[in-house]
Structure 1
Amino acid sequence: MISAKLRGAVSVAAMLLLTAACAGGPSASGEPASSDTSQQETSAPGGRSPSGDGVTTSDNIKQVAQVPRTAPFDGRDDINTDLAFQGDYAFQGNFGGFAIYDISDPKNPKTVTQVACPGQQNDVSIYRNLLILSVDEPVSGPECDADDDEPAWEGLRIFDVSDKASPRYVGAVATDCGSHTHTMVPAGETLYVYVSSPGPEPESRTCPPPHELIQIVEIPMGAPQSARVVAKPDIFPERQHDEMLSGCHDITAYPEKKLAAAACFGDGVLLDIADPVRPKVLQQLTDTENFSIWHSATFNNDATKVVFSDELGGGGQATCDRNTPRTKGANAVYDLVNGKLELRGYFKIDREQQQDENCVAHNGSLIPVPGKDVMVQAWYQGGVSVWDFTDSSAPKEIGFFERGPHEPPTIAGSWSAYYYNGYIYSSDIMEGLDVLEIDDPLTNPAKKVKMDDFNVQTQKSY
């Protein structure tokens, strides 16, 4: 979801794009015939079966647990955000701070602690004993007791979570325009963190123009309190764009392949990260016809494909309806051929949502099925979708989990949906943490794959 500081600009851009789309505008010039979505299959097998409490699922998915929001994270503005995993623990960001859950029994997760540390976004990642939070709105200072009286700081907060019941704040790094999301690139005893943030904001103390860059933070594992920005590479040397929307939304790194894919406000970028401090641009993609906000990227396991997602409307609009073309607010599947990305097809859920249900492609991850390309993904109030893109030109949905419209109407639904050690975990903005289980011949081989940890922006092979 985009930050409040750019939501107005995005809403205007999104409405203009929707208006053009509904008028029957053409798709991006030069698309291959295989990107025609008329062949897309999206119906999950077995139809729908009610699962109680307004929940609807395909018959191969069931909800096995839910942890509702509780104080101090149960206010209207305390929305749940991203997830990370390590061993028997799940870490969940929230605009009010972060929570740690014991998931040693996935069907009976238990809250270990909730740390009050307000900050817009608060996307979370975990590496060894360090937890990192992204803060994307200025506050008075880096500590958790900062307020909004003199907004002069935004960026990364760092915690030591060696004791899961008692996390300890150890430091912070201020970054230009804050940190909307961040991506870890480990290098021995040094952890590099790529910071993605939207901007600029004219007359802002923390986000002045120009903002044509990402930022790279160096965190020494032995002295995380001395973390600092070590590089600000400009990865848009040839970019032409709207000055209201600059910077990147999300970067996914695949360190063992020495690749990263950056989803930025107007572009998708393929990067060589052999030198993590000096990423090199391999290819820029621009699709102003079909994509509004290049939101996130996912490599397949062998790094021969990249899925880019479009967050049309910034996560606050109902774009899963019959009036929005299937190539917008969707996923675009690219094959990596001879070092270059080539568009093959699109995927978007076909379950039409109501006009007060915010719905668009959002955070997801691979389900580790050897030899196949399968992904689970959050769609806000469109719920959780499991889809197969092994055939890049004909992706299809194979399962789903969905709640009815939130009452009263508000921004709601699944922010992130990730697969970890046999189960799907969904961070629901208003409902808490959902645990789902999928029983399907296609995905069942993934249950044999065990991960020690999982941060979606830092991919590892399986």
Structure 2
Amino acid sequence: MPRSPRVSTRRPLRRRPLRRRVLSTAVTLLAAAGLTASALPAQAGTPVDEIDKSDNVELTANLPKPEGFEPTNSDLAFTGDHVIVGNYNGFVIHDVSEPSEPEITAAVLCPGGQADVSVSGDLLYFSVEYPRANDECGAPESTPEDPEAFEGIRVFDISDKANPEYIASVRTDCGSHTNSLIQGEESDYIYVSSYAPSEKYPNCQPPHDKISVVEVPKDDPQDAAVVAQPVLFPDGGNEDQDGLLRPTQGCHDITVYAEKGLAAGACMGDGIIMDISDPLQPEVIETVRDENFAFWHSATFTNKADGVIFTDELGGGGAATCNAEVGPERGADAIYGLKAKPAKGERPAKAELTFKSYYKIPRHQGDTENCVAHNGSLIPVKGENYFVQAWYQGGVSVIDFNDLENPKEIAYFDRGPVSDTELVRGGSWSAYYYNGYVYSAERTRGFDVLRLDDERLDRAEKVRFDELNPQNQVRY
């Protein structure tokens, strides 16, 4: 039985007041002419920690990271009135029953790196990518050369939000950089994505063109285990394209759309569509490549699954790529039209992706700001396609991509750099819409709650979820 984590319920320092940037005379004149803030030319020079934003966004609350969570925040999952924020040292559960006054319910110290999180009822699944000496929460760091080192998935019982209990662990090859959830009636299935194999690593051998599928029986989660390791690239993936951050080695992240029987994979050098009608045997039915993409990072379907947004994490999230020199087609989103028919009876699954456009934030960032396309989710406006997305120190952007060929920004929230003298990694890792608010995991500044005030998005406020994992997409 894994050793229980250390749970802290210490309240952090109250959020600091954040000063709003005063708009320039040019902005005022353009606004008077009827132009929105998102239509303005790129702004530059926002001072450290100050805010530049469109008029239809408000910062409702900010909570600094609690003590012991100095490493970066990462991904988010949602259950009831709680938002779970992953951190390289564990995870923090926030009570957002009053979104303007969020409170920390529990801060669980259980280091392991990356800290991708998914939630299913009373169970929390947590990705461990940095090797530990064993699977205990307090285990010291190890190395990938150690055959006994632990990397993979940790399972927590969060039925008592104030006192999560660590109940199981599952080792997976190359650990778990991300995890994506398919919920069944009796079991959950977790697609575990990981990469960076080496002949020197006994638990992470090349070519590693696969994912791991972990089954978690809902009545007996302690029996969680790897039940399949489907090879997605039996003939190898993209290795020869100039400018790749990494060749294709499994996938970086997968978004499942179980209702449609489809999944979209962002797999370093390849973007893929999979038929997941049999979750233990996902089948790649379409592959695309793009000479402008350095690292296929994540994917999101349109509401009707007739399109996909893929993101390119140029520079691995640590470089200043939102500038004129890099341009609008690299470190950006690529939007594709999708025609897909999952397998049915004797009919094989088919899919076709057609490139439509790129989207990149229209505001140039400074040389000390790491900025690139990162994690986001659809805003639940029935039948429409609006996307909220994190861009690290490029902030949070809201995109209208109802016309796949002409995406446009309709709202944004952007802080100044962490430092104006050196590049310090920071900014929004993940930004997702949930029950009327946008929640953002700020890498250095903690947990942000944003409120959107835009009539195009009003219908989303009527949509309420009991639970949300953005990489487990549903139809609105």
Where on the TM-score scale, by shorter chain, does this alignment land: which range?
0.7 to 0.9
Residue pairs, 1:2-401, within 5 angstroms = 44=38, 54-73=50-69, 75=70, 78-149=71-142, 151=146, 152-242=149-239, 245=247, 246-287=249-290, 289-337=291-339, 339-401=351-413
Structure 1 residue 393: deviation in Å? 0.4
The range that moved more, 258-267 or 228-237, is 228-237
Task: Note if 1:420 corresponds to 2:434.
Answer: yes
2:377 touches 2:389 (CA, 8 Å); kept in 1? yes
* Number of matched pairs: 418
What TM-score do you get using the length of structure 2 for normalisation? Answer: 0.85
What TM-score do you get using the length of structure 1 for normalisation? Answer: 0.87
- Quick one: distance in 1 between partners of 2:171 and 2:55? 47
Does the residue aligned with 1:199 lie in a helix, a strand or coil? coil
- Quick one: distance in 1 between partners of 2:298 and 2:36? 21
- Quick one: distance in 1 between partners of 2:193 and 2:323? 30
- Quick one: distance in 2 between partners of 1:350 and 1:86? 33
Task: Give CA-to-partner distance per residue, 1:87-125, whole Å, 9 cap, x none.
Answer: 101000001110001100111110001000001101111
Bigger radius of gyration: 2
Does the residue aligned with 1:146 lie in a helix, a strand or coil? coil
Task: Give CA-to-partner distance per residue, 1:419-443, whole Å, 9 cap, x none.
Answer: 0000000000000000000101111
Does the residue aligned with 2:461 lie in a helix, a strand or coil? helix
2:297 touches 2:313 (CA, 8 Å); kept in 1? yes
1:51 touches 1:63 (CA, 8 Å); kept in 2? no
- Quick one: distance in 2 between partners of 1:446 and 1:65? 20
2:367 touches 2:423 (CA, 8 Å); kept in 1? no
Task: Give CA-to-partner distance per residue, 1:144-167, whole Å, 9 cap, x none.
Answer: 011114651100001000000000
Does the residue aligned with 1:297 lie in a helix, a strand or coil? strand
Task: Give CA-to-partner distance per residue, 1:197-224, whole Å, 9 cap, x none.
Answer: 0121230133122211011011111111
Does the residue aligned with 1:447 lie in a helix, a strand or coil? helix
AA aligned opposite 2:374: H
Task: Summarize the Cα distance change of 1:311–1:213 in structure 2 as closer, same or farther, 3 Å threshold.
Answer: same
- Quick one: distance in 1 between partners of 2:259 and 2:77? 20
Does the residue aligned with 2:377 lie in a helix, a strand or coil? strand
1:51 touches 1:62 (CA, 8 Å); kept in 2? no
AA aligned opposite 1:117: C
Task: Give CA-to-partner distance per residue, 1:379-436, whole Å, 9 cap, x none.
Answer: 0000000001100000000000011010264110000000000000000000000000
Task: Note if 1:446 corresponds to 2:442.
Answer: no
Q: Which runs of 4+ in 1 moved over 4 A?
A: 45-48, 50-53
The range that moved more, 416-425 or 149-158, is 149-158
AA aligned opposite 1:440: D
Task: Give CA-to-partner distance per residue, 1:311-345, whole Å, 9 cap, x none.
Answer: 01110111101011311111111111363111101
Structure 1 residue 371: deviation in Å? 2.6
Unaligned runs of 5+ in 1: 1-40
Structure 1 residue 303: deviation in Å? 0.7
- Quick one: distance in 2 between partners of 1:430 and 1:110? 18
2:48 touches 2:418 (CA, 8 Å); kept in 1? no
- Quick one: distance in 2 between partners of 1:386 and 1:209? 39
- Quick one: distance in 2 between partners of 1:320 and 1:409? 13
| 1:18 alignment counterpart | none
